[in-house]
Amino acid sequence: ILNVEQSPQSLHVQEGDSTNFTCSFPSSNFYALHWYRWETAKSPEALFVMTLNGDEKKKGRISATLNTKEGYSYLYIKGSQPEDSATYLCAFLGNEKLTFGTGTRLTIIP
């Protein structure tokens, strides 16, 4: 059973502050790391698919980094806005199977 862990489980952040959270995954048999945002009453939305060690991706105020050798990825949100409130999921692709973490639930306080 693969262990994909996300921390923290939940997070409350003041509007305008920046924040980050972590996804840890096995460092062997790595193929790709996915990030998704899942807002309440909606379906998960793809943020990034990362494949190379050292990869950095950016989409607006959200960015992510990847370290495949030590098995972690960070997701950063700069200048949090209320619409950033969601659960952020990472998923490890290895051995042709996608294993999701249980997510970080982010709440932005206006």
Partner 1 sequence: KAGVTQTPRYLIKTRGQQVTLSCSPISGHRSVSWYQQTPGQGLQFLFEYFSETQRNKGNFPGRFSGRQFSNSRSEMNVSTLELGDSALYLCASSEANLLRNSPLHFGNGTRLTVT
The residues that bridge with 13 in the sheet, in sequence order, are 108
Kindly state whether residue 34 participates in binding partner 1, applying the rule CB under 8 A.
yes
Q: Given the rule CB under 8 A, which of 11-19, 42-50, 58-66, 73-81 is the region that contacts partner 1?
A: 42-50
98 by DSSP, 3-state: which?
Answer: strand
Kindly state whether residue 46 participates in binding partner 1, applying the rule CB under 8 A.
yes
- CA 93 to centroid of chain Cα atoms: 14
Considering the complex, what minimum distance in angstroms separates the CB of residue 79 from partner 1? 24
Among 91, 104, 105, 106, binds partner 1 (CB under 8 A): 91
Kindly state whether residue 76 participates in binding partner 1, applying the rule CB under 8 A.
no
The structure tokens listed for 95 are 């051995």
Rounded Cα gap, residues 43 and 63, in angstroms:
21
Angle at CA 35, nearest 5°, toward 3 and 70?
A: 50
Give the footprint of partner 1 on this chain (CB under 8 A).
Answer: 1, 4, 31-32, 34, 36, 42-46, 49, 51, 89, 91, 93, 96-103
